[in-house]
Amino acid sequence: MGQCGSITRRDFIRSSAFAAASSLLPVSQPQADPGSTNGSTPDILASGWEFFRGSLGGAWDVWREDIAETTIWQKVDLPHCFNARDAVDPDLPYYEGPAWYRRKLLPRNPLENGRSLLLFEGVGQRCEVFIALESVARHIGGYDEFAVDITDALARAAKSAPPGRGIPLSVLCDNSRDLETIPSELNDFHRFGGLYRNLTLFYVPAISLERVHIHVEMSRAARAQVSVRVRLHNPRAFREEVELLIRMFDSKGSLLRSATRRLPAWEGEQEAASFQVESPELWSPRHPSLHRCEVQLASPHGPTTVTESFGFRYCEFEEHGPFKLNGERIYLKGTQREEDHAGLGAAMPESLIREELTLIKDMGANFLGLGHHQQSRTVLNLCDELGLLVLEEIPWSRGGLGGDGYKEEARAMLRAMIDQHYNHPSVIFWGVGNENDWPGDFRDFDKEAICSFVKELNDEAHTLDPNRTTFLRRCDFCKLSLDLGWLVPRSLHAVQEKDRS
């Protein structure tokens, strides 16, 4: 019998999980969001990046050449997570701290007076964005999208940049522990760091479409009322008249309704059209029928178009009874999804996300809890497409309740999650927290203060979205402060099992 050499856990991980992850990396680059067009092609900023893990003095240190020997930059592609290996390797310390990404931009905005925007789909956990040496944005939170208008900063940087050499772009990411930020380190998921979702450079006119919300009101299958609400990106506050064309299509691409409207450019969100639809085709896990709303905006500065998918469906939670979707009783069965993978961390390619969610659907699931934070647009689009009902929640999870900054961060995350994922028919619960009965981050654990903040978040969620149910998992002393609380899936399971017997 031959003699076998010993194998360490590190060797095993390298030979199995890391190898498997590498084989799943996509060959093609991620695609831009097809929902926004303006006649120009967005730049997918996936390649051409360099990465440095550690602290630097600032943007000047990122680009200076005289410290090149002490700052070794690694070539990487996005999405990229700097905890891809140490999160799963027991022999590597888990890194929490700053890291830098850099590359050059060659802007090519074809629009006169047009705007150039960087769309970050997710950066962990805090970041600062620089054009040349100028700080143009800061963002706290690793899970929501945010856009940065870099138009004016690009113009200033171009005055001193050598022709044809590009404009320096650098991003500082930091996942260091901070008691006054969420999520807590007491959680059973990592606070990953890095540019671990897609980053795109868009070009839009001086007045463009920033957000389109499709609000559907229905309590039975016979009729639906649809309101299309629009928000503009108009940083110079132009007041020219704009023209809107709103068209709604069914799941087969046939035009259902259309409307036009002319009005001066506005601030905030405004209703652009309202339609009544008789006997709409309903969305459900068995028949995930998706409709499409296309909004075209024309102004003296140029056109933009945004296309959003949405669905017709209505939910009922009977008191001490079952859950009903579209008037039909449905047994919720499924699992939870964490946003990570061995050897990749949170930087999962879209092909792997699709494979994972398809497996969940194929095993017979109709429900998915997104643990424990807002996840990418790719995930929500696939849940709509596959027919998976969704709980999506903010990462206020364990640890207790911090101060004013802590609470404002939680509020901002809730607002961003609802604003960005409002149109997805798959989402039936907005989660305002998770396991908030777990103390540890602060000296005082004030149950009354936690309940008061849960109630505040519950009210805010209903103001932003009156049609969806709020949810909180495992915090018994707060269960009366919102719609559904404390292990509700288990309670529903018990009720439905009793009914079935």
What distances in angstroms separate CA 418 from CA 228, 391, 465, one per listed residue? Answer: 16, 12, 7
The pTM score is 0.90
For 18-47, how does the pLDDT look when each residue is reduced to its tens digit (9 = 90+)?
333 333 333 333 333 434 555 467 899 999
Q: What is the pLDDT of residue 319?
A: 84
For 355-399, how does the pLDDT look when each residue is reduced to its tens digit (9 = 90+)?
999 999 999 999 999 999 999 999 999 999 999 999 999 999 999
The yes-or-no verdict on residue 1 having pLDDT over 80 is no
The yes-or-no verdict on residue 106 having pLDDT over 70 is yes
| 456 in catalytic set | no
For 216-252, how does the pLDDT look when each residue is reduced to its tens digit (9 = 90+)?
999 888 899 999 999 999 999 999 999 999 999 999 9
Q: What is the pLDDT of residue 321?
A: 85
List, in sequence order, every residue forming a beta bridge with 230; answer none if it has no partner: 212, 270
pLDDT bracket for residue 320 (50, 70, 90):
confident
Nearest to 389 by CA among 348, 361, 427: 427
Q: What is the pLDDT of residue 442?
A: 95
Q: What is the pLDDT of residue 30?
A: 34
Q: What is the pLDDT of residue 315?
A: 95
User: How large is the C-alpha radius of gyration of the chain?
Assistant: 24
Q: What phi, psi does 254 have (nearest 5°)? A: -80, 140
pLDDT bracket for residue 473 (50, 70, 90):
confident
The yes-or-no verdict on residue 325 having pLDDT over 90 is yes
All structural domains of the chain: 9-204 (2.60.120.260), 223-310 (2.60.40.10), 319-500 (3.20.20.80)
What distances in angstroms separate CA 195 from CA 25, 84, 124, 200, 337, one per listed residue? Answer: 16, 12, 7, 12, 20
How high does pLDDT run on average in the chain?
Answer: 89
**What is the average per-residue pLDDT within 259-288?**
97
Residues 6+ apart with CB under 8 A from 147: 117, 118, 119, 120, 202
The yes-or-no verdict on residue 272 having pLDDT over 60 is yes
DSSP one-letter string for 294-310: EEEEEETTEEEEEEEEE
Q: Which range, of 10-24, 336-350, 363-377, averages the lowest pLDDT?
A: 10-24
Q: Which residue has the tokens 């927290």?
A: 433
The yes-or-no verdict on residue 15 having pLDDT over 70 is no
pLDDT bracket for residue 290 (50, 70, 90):
very high
Tokens linked to 39: 């006649």
Q: How many Å apart are CA 298 and CA 296, to the nearest integer? A: 7
**What is the average per-residue pLDDT within 468-492?**
76
pLDDT above 90: percentage of residues in the chain: 79
Q: What is the pLDDT of residue 40?
A: 60
Q: Check 128, 339, 409, 435 and give the catalytic one.
A: 435
The yes-or-no verdict on residue 481 having pLDDT over 90 is no
